[in-house]
Structure 1
């Protein structure tokens, strides 16, 4: 079954029913607490206002932004609000998902209506108490006012009566006009900021339970490998090691949602080491000195895959005409000039700073987990299946995640912890080290592209052909490695053809920040630069010509929110893209003369990309030293994600974080295989961006008359091609492989 990125998003948003805005505002039965207006809003008799943040927090800021949306329509001051995280419970809160930059576009209106609904209940309670029409009552700062009679009351005074009033139909509730916002659009610090910087326990790895033991799990670095031998006596002799648990392989853990959003393919065979500390558990695991043999993935080799891709380019594709819009071959035959180039990019690991971990406690037919997860409901289902429990008997405490980037969409670590905890009979915290994180990640797939474009007499692109080589099984591309109609240049270039060759892989593949887009933007935007150079035209002017006149192109399927209604706006609007392109160029002073320092060459590069309903353009200023080292000095980012920025501080942080994340990947990250296993073991050979690499990042948001969309991912893809463009402008050398090989840049 072929699953697109939108299929994945829908699987996360819609699978299992979920909450409709037409249902009761609380999303389920109201809690029997005074002042509990819904599952999301509680007004205390002391005047306290507690708003529940129900989405997983992985650094994208939803623990702050969602309560802001509710508070805005509830008509309270932000300083009056206390935020509390929710349990993982779809039946009460509806969809709980961190992925696809879907949170804001699918929940923006719903959260506002939840706030408006709670306000309406308070207003009606006051109207009933005072014997006046509800329409005559105004609100503000958690106060109710009736001007004609001069009466006022705190929300707290009416909260208990309001909680007994039936929740109104959310669709009937009036919402504030954008111009009336007092909280949304402002700079609001993250609700966890102080706790984070003062070291308070917020993250999954901070979990401590009475009687808890610590676990490390020895498993084959090659998927499907079998245990040949282990020195159990040596492991038990390590100080702090308390016991060993044999874990048998299981291959029966797939659920229906795995079609689009995999969670665990196989519970691997191995040995769990229980100890008094994580360090002791890891030392005990290493002392086992396990010897593994065989495995489904033993054939995997980066060298072999590279040779296979080169052979495919020579021999031709497995699947010619995989995508065929217009008649690219015929147009190519009429071209005044042809341009060709090959691009490639590697596997990438997610490399979240918080190590993969899970804490589980199994008591009888109940299981409780403390997780940093992006998909808590999937974790509940998978753990229930593994332990033979009912889903309702699995409780998920959603801990803050120290990075997710798509890795924590999968809950294999939760299943491992639960299985080990059941056998141990006590609470267990399982922690992976970085080598296991890399070896058992759900990797961003690598790929190769052989591109050809036909240019007319003016140098404009009239045909585009891509032979795409990537990974899958049974001749089908993995869902994380698809090429489809949502990706540029489909729709923008009328005559476009893509051929495909599929290489086999056994290791797990997954979604990494701005899935698929993070690789394709480097390829397509880099090739635009190739064509601009062949045409002898400026990269900015050439991109304007490629985009053409403002128009809507139906190439990207729009996804639905919990209302079941399509997001308003166009799938791909070249006018919106032109707007951010021009804005980024203006911010950077495109075309200005640069003044390199002695011993360096300096240049500007520009790129754009449409991702997760967001329109983004980046300009990068970079210098290249005579030894080939690259320094990024400044990045300018222009974004169009619709009418309203929810939290300006958070929005800027997301864009800046994406830029730095993408910069690290562009300059130093790749995962390679030999003898079936990942070769990288730690950050020493998988380089994240360091502080001294971080450039100044200026961000501008264009406010356009479209619904607000997501921001966690779409700023990422256009950084790498803009950097490659800046390097070319500085040196005249075009780098077409990620990570960028700076050894080619020596003067």
Structure 2
């Protein structure tokens, strides 16, 4: 362990185990928590969650991968609160990937807070109880007569006190308490939870210290590049390996046969050298010829044309059919028909995919910026013929993930290359590799019909969703649930589905599914509000109605009251209904995802040439009764909003001849600081368990932006990204 309490990037598994066992005289607490969510008895183990040194320094393990969402700060905050220490005493340490100790370790689905809120409070509470018991035994007093504060146990009646550090050795000999019997803090007594705290890694990041996967250095390490076919999964027909080997510094060049699974080891050519630059120059000499592939004729244009064709035919199946939709639409006072479409998107995380791997004595040691280490371990083991337990993964901080690093293709590539060359290897993708070999947010097409009655109520809603998939199954992240809003809120509702095969790899991108569905649903609701001559906020509140909870908690529950609460809040804070100058507009949208209820209002100005200026964004959020780290919460919300705006304004991946066209930030631009609007966030504190924040703020901003553009120009946005040319009036 380094002096700052972190493990060096080159630390081996043996180093970490030695550090834990050798830290004599201190208390180390561990609770084996069931990986599948079932409760497990608490047992004292080494190297799990909490260690207290004799000098009172507290180290707390952050169990999940850190991808920029701040979990390395917020999860230890939960433990530290119930342990009752000052945050300034705490060092947050990234845990290794060890499912036997920590259960499932992953970063995704905004799940860390809801999954760990209760269990980690109990981890901290158990540690506090053991320290109190140690003091009480030493003083010969009842534990109930003792209190704690700032890492000190007090016995007020006698005036005695003892620091946690002085009690650590004694506490380590005591049995862990029953987690179910612990008395946890009253929220009014919180000193850490609810306090704005900067991410623990921020000083190291801004001073350029090595933290990320791309920074890893291992003794004797070589560098690798790996080129794959532009058409996903195509095999190597030929490659000039000798030309690559002739480049100074190149050690190896070889063909990897690979397989056919798009999320596994695919065919390609590896070049390994003394430096990454030499490997890159060797790769330039390969002159690879790629074999023909069945999906080489696929294109974005072809998918769109096929979607229109399928929309006019009978659907593959009907996913939901409430009431009599056709009858309701025939009897409606006004009807609206619209086709919506959204493109493939790249994750574009700023750190390209990379991994360092070593194969020695039949075992792999891997340093990986991964969101999901256990499937990576299993993929390496299966592909390379070793046992799962013979693959050890160091979880290294990720330079962004957004769902991309839930897949571990780069990990198995590095492991394969390392085994082939017999030395530690760091594989680094180029930016072009990263963008052209992503697991893209799926494109999709919705063909909608809706009707309103004389009272301005939605009486019928029909959606023929054309998505990607085969054999009756959605492609990865290409689905839409049968209970997706406004299902259950419209009496006559039908959701038809058609699928078309796709050779493009797809996967989850921040707020999977919701990032596209919210655009379609909330935009079409706005169209129906306009048809009814109703105010968009009032129309939505009427649609939500007086229902409190629809569906089954834990499965498909939708709390209309919570959604109405954030909608009213954001309308109030934005000054909804105020008069704006010509060319300006306010738009609103809401969405429920990842257990969070969000409503957002966007104000825009649209110039005569169609250029869109975002004036301001207001966010109303309900993520439960506690905000663990308000500073981190605002970071997550603001990042989500800016991500959504960027996706709506400029981003798309176009497929031509079976391959991605876009390759770098010149043709896949991210939002610039100069275009970023001020974002004002307000929370509704509801009596619900706290939930995650990494994703649910993104979906509503896209329709809110598009609806604001309509309010400013009278022109509907039904296809993303927004085409400024159709907005211009000059």
* Superposition TM-score, scaled by structure 2 size: 0.93
CA-to-partner distance for each residue in 1:418-466, whole Å, 9 max, x for gaps? 0100111111111111222222211111111110112111221011100
Equivalent residue, structure 1, for 2:554: 558
Q: Find the residue that maps to 2:590 and give its secondary structure.
A: strand
Corresponding residue of 2:310: 312
Q: 1:238: Cα distance to partner?
A: 2.7
Look up the match of 2:292. Answer: 294
Q: Distance in 2 between matches of 1:143 and 1:95?
A: 33
User: Following superposition of structure 1 onto structure 2, how do residues 212-231 of structure 1 map, counting pairs within 5 Å?
Assistant: 212-231=221-240
Give the conservation status (yes or no) of the 8 Å contact 1:214–1:430. yes
* Structure 2 residue aligned with 1:9: none
What is the rounded CA distance, in whole Å, between the counterparts of 1:283 and 1:585 in structure 2? Answer: 56
Q: Which residue of 2 aligns with 1:261?
A: none
Q: Is 1:144 aligned to 2:138, yes or no?
A: no
1:206 correspondence with 2:215: yes
Question: Which residue of the other structure, out of 711, 734, 739, is the alignment partner of 2:693?
Answer: 711
Alpha-carbon separation, structure 1, partners of 2:371 and 2:43? 24
Matched, 1:583 2:569: yes
Q: Does 1:498 align with 2:495?
A: yes
**In structure 2, C-alpha distance between the alignment counterparts of 1:250 and 1:469, rounded to whole Å:** 29
Aligned-partner SS, 2:549:
coil
Equivalent residue number for residue 671 of structure 1: 653
Report how far residue 535 of structure 1 moved: 0.9
| 8 Å Cα contact 2:359/2:418 also seen in 1 | yes
TM-score normalized by the length of structure 1: 0.91
Out of 316, 335, 353, the residue aligned to residue 338 of structure 1 is 335
Equivalences for residues 566-645 of structure 1 within 5 A: 571-595=557-581, 601-645=583-627
Corresponding residue for 1:256?
none
* Paired position in structure 2 for 1:514: 511
The answer to whether residue 488 in structure 2 is matched with residue 488 in structure 1 is no
Distance (Å, rounded) in 1 between the aligned partners of 2:43 and 2:679: 40
Single out whichever of 534-543 and 637-646 deviates more from structure 2: 534-543
Q: How far off is 1:15 after superposition?
A: 13
C-alpha distance 303-267 of structure 1, shift in aligned 2 (>3 A): same
Q: Counterpart in 2 of 1:35?
A: none
Following superposition, the deviation at residue 483 of structure 1 comes to 1.9
User: Are residues 1:546 and 2:543 paired?
Assistant: yes
Aligned twin of 1:282: 280
Find the residue that maps to 2:337 and give its secondary structure: strand
Q: Secondary structure at the match of 1:114?
A: helix
Secondary structure, counterpart of 2:554 in structure 1: coil
Change in Cα spacing, 1:491 to 1:279, as seen in structure 2 (3 Å) is farther
Q: Note if contact 1:245-1:420 (Cα within 8 Å) is conserved in structure 2.
A: no
Specify the alignment match of 1:36 in structure 2. none
Q: CA deviation at 1:242?
A: 2.2
Is 2:482–2:495's contact at 8 Å kept on the other side of the alignment?
Answer: no
Tell me, yes or no, if structure 1 residue 732 matches structure 2 residue 728: no
Offset of 1:696 from its aligned partner? 0.3
What is the CA–CA distance in structure 2 between the aligned matches of 1:532 and 1:698, rounded to whole Å? 26
SS in 1 for 2:504: coil
How far apart are 1:25 and its partner, in Å? 5.2
Report if aligned partners of 1:532, 1:538 keep a CA contact under 8 Å in 2. Answer: yes
Q: Which runs of 5+ in 1 are unaligned?
A: 1-13, 32-38, 254-263, 560-569
User: Aligned match of 1:365 in 362, 369, 382?
Assistant: 362
What is residue 530 of structure 1 aligned with on the other side?
527
Secondary structure of 2:601's partner?
A: strand
Output the aligned Cα RMSD.
1.7
Question: Alpha-carbon deviation of 1:19?
Answer: 6.4
Distance in 2 between residues matched to 1:179 and 1:296, nearest whole Å: 62
Which whole-Å CA distance do the structure 2 matches of 1:46 and 1:392 have between them?
Answer: 36
Conserved in 1, the CA contact under 8 Å of 2:476 and 2:508?
A: no
2:285 is equivalent to residue 267 of structure 1? no
- Are the aligned partners of 1:19 and 1:91 in contact in 2 as well (CA < 8 Å)? no
Instruction: Report the Cα offset of residue 16 of structure 1.
Output: 9.2
Q: Tell whether 2:456 aligns with 1:470.
A: no
Report the equivalent of 1:23. Answer: 41
Q: Does 1:440 align with 2:437?
A: yes
1:258 matched residue in structure 2 = none
Per-residue Cα deviation, 1:363-417 (whole angstroms, up to 9, x for no partner): 0222111111111111112112222222222111111111111111111110110
Instruction: Work out the number of aligned pairs and report it.
Output: 698
- What SS class does the counterpart of residue 211 from structure 1 fall into? coil
Whether the 8 Å CA contact 1:25–1:170 is kept in 2: the answer is no
| 1:92 is the counterpart of 2:101 | yes
> Cα distance, 1:170 vs. partner?
1.1
Task: Give runs of aligned pairs for residues 681-720 of structure 1, distance below 5 A.
Answer: 681-720=663-702
C-alpha deviation, 1:700, in angstroms? 0.7
Deviation digits for residues 75-109 of structure 1 (CA, Å, limit 9, x no counterpart): 00111111111101111112211111111001011
Return closer, same or farther for 1:15/1:306 CA change in 2, 3 Å cut-off: farther
Q: Which residue of 2 aligns with 1:655?
A: 637
Question: 1:296 Cα deviation (Å)?
Answer: 4.1
Query: Contact (CA 8 Å) 2:263, 2:407: kept in 1 or not?
Result: no
- Are residues 574 and 225 of structure 1, via their aligned partners in 2, closer, same or farther at CA, if it must alter by over 3 Å? same
CA contact (8 A) 2:33 2:103 kept: no
How far has the Cα of 1:277 moved from its partner? Answer: 2.3
Distance 2:536 2:569 in 1: 15
Q: Give the match's secondary structure for 1:546.
A: helix
Unaligned 5+ residue runs, structure 2? 1-31
